[in-house]
């Protein structure tokens, strides 16, 4: 038996994307946004297909992502931010709540809401994940969003 395999294509043409990005740790998050924009452009998105929504910190990302997904103004939401461990348990609380909130936004709306949050123990680790040594998590999140919108279209809108 050979089952049908469905995979999303990497073509952003005709889809609308919302990027929700925190201003906190901007020197890193800005690189994530640049990476996401680069990926979307390479995959065929025009400037008119992308909107960026800036929120104060990572904790505010899930609510904005949820509201944006509910609005039907976008086909996918790309969540970008940076959370760096400090001396208190604050990191654990924020990282956990942000991850759960982003997941819940996608589950509650059936819109792809993609996790592009860098969580790191040090500033150097975060910088590495924003394009210096270990790729750019913003670029990767945008690629995931494009693949998912294509897969959703194939699986749920056609046929």
Mean pLDDT, 10 residues at a time, the chain of 159 residues:
90 98 95 96 97 98 98 98 87 94 98 96 88 82 98 82
6 is catalytic: no
CATH number at residue 121: 3.40.50.960
Q: Per the domain annotation, does 1 fall within a domain?
A: no
Instruction: Please check whether residue 114 is in contact with residue 144, taking contact to mean a CB–CB distance below 8 angstroms.
Output: yes
Instruction: Please check whether residue 11 is in contact with residue 44, taking contact to mean a CB–CB distance below 8 angstroms.
Output: yes
Q: Per the domain annotation, does 79 fall within a domain?
A: yes
Considering the candidates 72, 73, 90, 133, report the single residue annotated as catalytic.
90
Domain count, the chain: 1
Domain range enclosing 77: 17-157
**E strand residue ranges, the chain:** 17-22, 50-55, 76-84, 113-120
Query: What pLDDT sits at residue 117?
Result: 97
Q: Which of 17, 16, 19, 14 is nearest to 138 (CA)?
A: 19
Question: Whole-prediction pTM value?
Answer: 0.94
Query: What pLDDT sits at residue 91?
Result: 86
Residue 77 DSSP code: E
Q: Per the domain annotation, does 10 fall within a domain?
A: no
Query: What pLDDT sits at residue 133?
Result: 59
Instruction: Please check whether residue 112 is in contact with residue 77, taking contact to mean a CB–CB distance below 8 angstroms.
Output: yes
């Amino acid at each position: 038996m050979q089952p049908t395999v469905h995979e999303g294509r990497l073509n952003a043409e005709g889809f609308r994307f919302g990027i929700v990005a925190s201003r906190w740790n901007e020197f890193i998050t800005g690189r994530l946004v640049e990476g996401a924009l680069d990926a979307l452009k390479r995959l065929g998105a025009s400037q008119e297909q992308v909107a960026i929504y800036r929120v104060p910190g990572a904790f505010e990302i899930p609510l904005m992502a949820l509201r944006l997904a509910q609005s039907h103004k976008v086909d996918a939401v790309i969540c970008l931010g940076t959370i760096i461990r400090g001396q208190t348990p604050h990191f654990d609380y924020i990282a956990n709540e942000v991850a759960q909130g982003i997941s819940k936004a996608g589950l509650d709306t059936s819109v792809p809401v993609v996790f592009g949050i860098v969580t790191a123990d040090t500033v150097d680790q975060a910088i590495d994940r924003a394009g210096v040594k270990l790729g750019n998590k913003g670029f990767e999140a945008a690629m995931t969003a494009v693949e998912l919108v294509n897969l959703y279209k194939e699986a749920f809108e056609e046929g």
